Structure 1
Amino acid sequence: MSRRDPDERPTARGDIKGYLADFETRMSRLQEQADDSRDRLEAISASAASDHEEVTVTVGAGGALLAVEYGPNARRTSPQSLGEMTMAMYAKAVADAASQATAVMTGLLGADTPAMSNFAASLRRGEHSAGGEY
């Protein structure tokens, strides 16, 4: 009787019950990783403030705008400059949120996988629409 290497997975031909048990264990582990990644993505928050704190913009995952706050120095800033600062801080916060999301998804998908490449491409498209650059 031959013994199987403990690191070797059972095969469907050689040990169907072992194969199914191993498959179920791996799927359960993947589900846990996916759930953890989802929770971490939902918790993403990034803020960016202008140099003199005229404006602070906070976004969530995917660049969802959560808050725009204007500080006391905003009163001394022209509406046009304030608008430009707001857009610049939004783009900066989106880039930070994208970086956080990339770290989460790299842990789940792997750094050099087609799925990760697709994820990164979707972030680039989103950031370009936010006015930023990668």
Structure 2
Amino acid sequence: MIELYVALGVLAICLYFKWSCSHWRRIGNVDGPSPLPLFGNTLEQVLGTKHFGEIFDEVYKSYPSAAWVGIYQMFNKPSIVVRDLELVKDILIVPPGVMGRSVRAVQQTGRPGSRSRTGQGDPGQQLPAL
């Protein structure tokens, strides 16, 4: 009976890794290298043969026509490498009405550090564009 539980546990773990390694395939239209279970695309980093920046650089250069590339970090955590500069601009520069009051400047009156409330600033003060 215990062999059955062990076999079911191993099967469940294998199915979980297969499911977690297919995130970008399930979403569709996202190119990227095939991951390894548990290590994702970072096996060289774990072994100490490459820095994570080198892995990103290789992935970035491997897909020159893609606007973004899907990769997997450790434990198959999906991440995106954005290649298109217009898409980078859209991600980094947020229009003023999108985030609401939480991105406005904090209250400027009073002693610094005393009951500062984020999101309670002047509604006319917006974050500067990059």
TM-score past 0.5 threshold: no
TM-score (norm 1): 0.28
Indicate the structure whose relative CO is greater, using CA pairs within 8 Å and at least 6 residues apart.
Answer: 1
TM-score (norm 2): 0.29
- Structure whose residues are more often helix by fraction: 1
